[in-house]
Amino acid sequence: MSAFDNNRNASFETLLKPLLDRLYRMAFRLAGNKPEAEDLFQDVLTKVFPRLDDLIEIESPGPWLCRIMYNHFIDNRRRFARQRLVAVAEDQLPGEGIDSVPGGTSPEQDAVQEDNIIQLENALGKLSDEHRLVVMLHDCEGYKLTEIQDLTDTPVGTLKSRLHRARARLREILETDGTK
């Protein structure tokens, strides 16, 4: 490998490393499972490497990279649509060994709360991609609507309507499933 290539690789690594955790988390939220999240993560890094010169020029590369990831995910929506959040075995839940809620709840309360989370994941899996993503990003990840607007190029008003419809749909699903 030439010195030119070594320099580019080192620059790429230096620029990306502080952002990798955030990108990984975003990939998981979009894809819904670890294997596909890692595929998405790899695809985006591969896509970005030839654009290293652009990356160097950008003041805040995090949102730019997240947007590339989001657009890439949407472009491959069919592949990920079958892997939305669904009921999974306990050992496949994010964060192995889920702890009790802080504050000292009883084991019975913990079990009910874990059931709620599993039911919620099932319900999220039944939403459309658009509804699921806005709920995941806003209500689960804490993104503001303006940040989601930058990410998805969708007006805040549209996102707000979509969020409200998504939550209403979730409530319907959960009620039908008998949880709430």
Residues at the site binding another protein, with contacts judged by CB under 8 A: 2, 4-5, 8-9, 12-13, 16-17, 20, 24-25, 28-29, 34, 37-38, 41-42, 45-46, 48-54, 93-95, 98, 101, 113, 116-117, 120-121, 135-136, 139-142, 163-164, 167, 170-171, 174, 180
Dist CA 178 CA 172 (whole Å): 10
Q: Which residues contact 27 (CB under 8 A, 6 or more apart)?
A: 37, 38, 40, 41, 44, 69
- Asked if residues 32 and 80 have their Cβ atoms less than 8 Å apart, the reply is yes
The closest alpha carbon to 13, from 60, 38, 45, belongs to 45
Task: Compute the CA torsion angle 104, 108, 110, 115 (nearest 10 deg).
Answer: -170
In whole angstroms, how close is the CB of 111 to another protein at the nearest point?
Answer: 15
Looking at the Cβ atoms of 48 and 66, the one nearer to another protein is: 48
Looking at the Cβ atoms of 49 and 81, the one nearer to another protein is: 49
In whole angstroms, how close is the CB of 69 to another protein at the nearest point?
Answer: 13
In whole angstroms, how close is the CB of 63 to another protein at the nearest point?
Answer: 19
